[in-house]
Amino acid sequence: MADFTQSDVDYLIRAKKFIHRTIQDNTNWQKTSPHKAPDELRIVYDIRRSDGPDTNLKLQFAARRELSPQTKWGIALRWHGERIRGLDHKLREDIIRGGLIVGKVRHWHEHQWTNEDRDKHVVDANAIVKNQDMRSLIETCLDRWNIEGFGHQLRLEDLK
Protein backbone atom coordinates (compact mmCIF):
# COMPACT_ATOMS: atom_id res chain seq x y z
CA MET A 1 0.00 0.00 0.00
CA ALA A 2 1.28 3.46 -0.91
CA ASP A 3 2.39 5.82 1.84
CA PHE A 4 1.33 8.85 -0.19
CA THR A 5 -1.87 10.54 -1.32
CA GLN A 6 -3.13 11.95 -4.59
CA SER A 7 -2.22 15.40 -3.26
CA ASP A 8 1.38 14.23 -2.69
CA VAL A 9 1.51 12.83 -6.24
CA ASP A 10 0.08 16.00 -7.77
CA TYR A 11 2.61 18.10 -5.85
CA LEU A 12 5.47 15.88 -7.05
CA ILE A 13 4.28 16.00 -10.67
CA ARG A 14 4.14 19.84 -10.58
CA ALA A 15 7.66 20.09 -9.08
CA LYS A 16 10.59 20.57 -11.44
CA LYS A 17 12.60 17.38 -11.77
CA PHE A 18 15.53 16.08 -13.78
CA ILE A 19 17.05 12.81 -14.91
CA HIS A 20 19.81 12.11 -12.39
CA ARG A 21 21.26 8.92 -13.89
CA THR A 22 20.53 5.91 -16.05
CA ILE A 23 19.70 2.81 -14.02
CA GLN A 24 19.15 0.41 -16.91
CA ASP A 25 19.39 0.66 -20.69
CA ASN A 26 19.45 -2.29 -23.08
CA THR A 27 18.53 -0.30 -26.18
CA ASN A 28 22.06 -0.76 -27.54
CA TRP A 29 21.26 -4.40 -28.24
CA GLN A 30 21.75 -5.11 -31.93
CA LYS A 31 20.05 -7.80 -33.98
CA THR A 32 23.52 -8.83 -35.15
CA SER A 33 24.74 -9.32 -31.58
CA PRO A 34 25.96 -12.81 -30.67
CA HIS A 35 24.10 -12.51 -27.35
CA LYS A 36 20.53 -13.73 -26.95
CA ALA A 37 17.97 -11.07 -27.73
CA PRO A 38 16.26 -9.48 -24.73
CA ASP A 39 12.51 -10.04 -24.32
CA GLU A 40 11.99 -6.29 -24.34
CA LEU A 41 13.83 -3.03 -24.83
CA ARG A 42 13.95 -1.04 -21.60
CA ILE A 43 15.31 2.26 -20.32
CA VAL A 44 15.04 3.22 -16.64
CA TYR A 45 16.13 6.57 -15.20
CA ASP A 46 16.50 7.78 -11.61
CA ILE A 47 14.59 11.07 -11.24
CA ARG A 48 15.40 13.77 -8.67
CA ARG A 49 13.81 17.10 -7.77
CA SER A 50 15.66 20.16 -9.04
CA ASP A 51 15.44 21.79 -5.59
CA GLY A 52 16.90 18.69 -3.87
CA PRO A 53 19.31 16.95 -6.25
CA ASP A 54 21.04 14.97 -3.48
CA THR A 55 17.83 13.39 -2.18
CA ASN A 56 16.84 10.00 -3.60
CA LEU A 57 13.06 10.18 -4.06
CA LYS A 58 12.77 6.55 -5.18
CA LEU A 59 11.24 8.01 -8.35
CA GLN A 60 11.93 6.22 -11.63
CA PHE A 61 11.02 6.93 -15.22
CA ALA A 62 10.81 3.76 -17.31
CA ALA A 63 10.16 3.17 -21.00
CA ARG A 64 9.74 -0.32 -22.43
CA ARG A 65 8.65 -2.18 -25.54
CA GLU A 66 8.45 -5.89 -26.23
CA LEU A 67 10.43 -6.98 -29.27
CA SER A 68 7.60 -7.66 -31.66
CA PRO A 69 6.52 -5.44 -34.55
CA GLN A 70 2.96 -4.84 -33.37
CA THR A 71 3.79 -3.65 -29.85
CA LYS A 72 4.07 0.01 -28.91
CA TRP A 73 6.25 1.71 -26.32
CA GLY A 74 4.85 2.18 -22.82
CA ILE A 75 6.16 4.72 -20.33
CA ALA A 76 5.72 4.81 -16.56
CA LEU A 77 6.70 7.09 -13.70
CA ARG A 78 7.03 5.02 -10.53
CA TRP A 79 7.33 6.37 -7.01
CA HIS A 80 8.34 3.85 -4.35
CA GLY A 81 7.48 1.14 -6.88
CA GLU A 82 3.94 2.43 -7.54
CA ARG A 83 3.01 3.74 -10.99
CA ILE A 84 1.84 7.32 -10.46
CA ARG A 85 1.74 8.23 -14.16
CA GLY A 86 1.85 6.10 -17.27
CA LEU A 87 1.36 6.44 -20.98
CA ASP A 88 0.46 3.39 -23.03
CA HIS A 89 -1.55 2.06 -25.92
CA LYS A 90 -4.34 -0.51 -25.99
CA LEU A 91 -7.18 -1.13 -28.38
CA ARG A 92 -9.57 -0.38 -25.53
CA GLU A 93 -9.08 0.58 -21.86
CA ASP A 94 -11.77 1.06 -19.22
CA ILE A 95 -12.15 4.53 -17.70
CA ILE A 96 -12.51 3.97 -13.96
CA ARG A 97 -13.84 6.54 -11.48
CA GLY A 98 -14.44 5.61 -7.86
CA GLY A 99 -13.96 1.93 -8.67
CA LEU A 100 -16.67 1.96 -11.34
CA ILE A 101 -16.24 1.66 -15.10
CA VAL A 102 -17.69 4.88 -16.50
CA GLY A 103 -16.48 4.68 -20.09
CA LYS A 104 -13.86 3.46 -22.51
CA VAL A 105 -10.87 5.04 -24.18
CA ARG A 106 -9.31 3.69 -27.34
CA HIS A 107 -5.61 3.65 -28.15
CA TRP A 108 -3.34 6.10 -26.26
CA HIS A 109 -4.23 6.84 -22.66
CA GLU A 110 -2.54 8.19 -19.55
CA HIS A 111 -2.78 6.53 -16.15
CA GLN A 112 -3.04 9.05 -13.31
CA TRP A 113 -2.74 7.98 -9.68
CA THR A 114 -5.73 8.79 -7.43
CA ASN A 115 -6.56 7.88 -3.84
CA GLU A 116 -9.57 5.78 -4.83
CA ASP A 117 -8.44 4.10 -8.01
CA ARG A 118 -4.64 4.21 -7.66
CA ASP A 119 -3.14 3.81 -11.18
CA LYS A 120 -6.36 2.47 -12.73
CA HIS A 121 -7.68 5.99 -13.37
CA VAL A 122 -7.11 6.78 -17.08
CA VAL A 123 -7.63 9.75 -19.35
CA ASP A 124 -7.59 9.92 -23.14
CA ALA A 125 -4.10 10.86 -24.40
CA ASN A 126 -4.62 10.54 -28.15
CA ALA A 127 -4.44 14.33 -28.55
CA ILE A 128 -1.04 14.59 -26.83
CA VAL A 129 0.64 11.73 -28.72
CA LYS A 130 1.82 13.36 -31.94
CA ASN A 131 4.29 10.67 -33.00
CA GLN A 132 4.58 7.09 -31.76
CA ASP A 133 8.36 6.77 -32.01
CA MET A 134 10.32 6.36 -28.78
CA ARG A 135 11.94 9.79 -28.91
CA SER A 136 8.61 11.60 -29.23
CA LEU A 137 6.92 9.54 -26.52
CA ILE A 138 9.74 10.10 -24.02
CA GLU A 139 9.84 13.83 -24.79
CA THR A 140 6.05 14.08 -24.42
CA CYS A 141 6.13 12.42 -21.00
CA LEU A 142 9.18 14.34 -19.77
CA ASP A 143 7.46 17.59 -20.69
CA ARG A 144 4.05 16.55 -19.33
CA TRP A 145 5.50 15.37 -16.00
CA ASN A 146 7.94 18.31 -15.54
CA ILE A 147 11.15 16.32 -15.97
CA GLU A 148 14.21 17.84 -17.57
CA GLY A 149 16.30 15.44 -19.64
CA PHE A 150 20.05 15.53 -19.98
CA GLY A 151 20.31 16.16 -23.68
CA HIS A 152 22.48 13.96 -25.86
CA GLN A 153 23.01 11.41 -23.10
CA LEU A 154 19.45 10.18 -23.63
CA ARG A 155 20.57 8.83 -27.01
CA LEU A 156 17.00 9.35 -28.19
CA GLU A 157 18.18 9.78 -31.76
CA ASP A 158 19.17 6.09 -31.73
CA LEU A 159 15.70 4.92 -30.73
CA LYS A 160 12.83 4.12 -33.04
What is the mean pLDDT of the segment spanning 125-140? 89
H-assigned helices in 6-118? 6-14
Supply the range of the domain harboring residue 21: 6-26+39-148
Q: What is the pLDDT of residue 140?
A: 93
The pTM for the full model equals: 0.85
Q: Quick check: is 11 in a domain?
A: yes
In the β-sheet with 40-49, what is the strand arrangement from edge to edge?
Answer: 122-124, 100-112, 82-97, 74-79, 59-66, 40-49, 17-25, 147-148
Say which residues have a Cβ less than 8 Å from residue 54's Cβ, sequence separation at least 6. 48
Counting the structural domains of the chain, the total is 1
Q: Quick check: is 114 in a domain?
A: yes
Q: Quick check: is 34 in a domain?
A: no
Q: Over the stretch 56-69, which tens digit does the pLDDT of each residue have?
A: 999 999 999 888 77
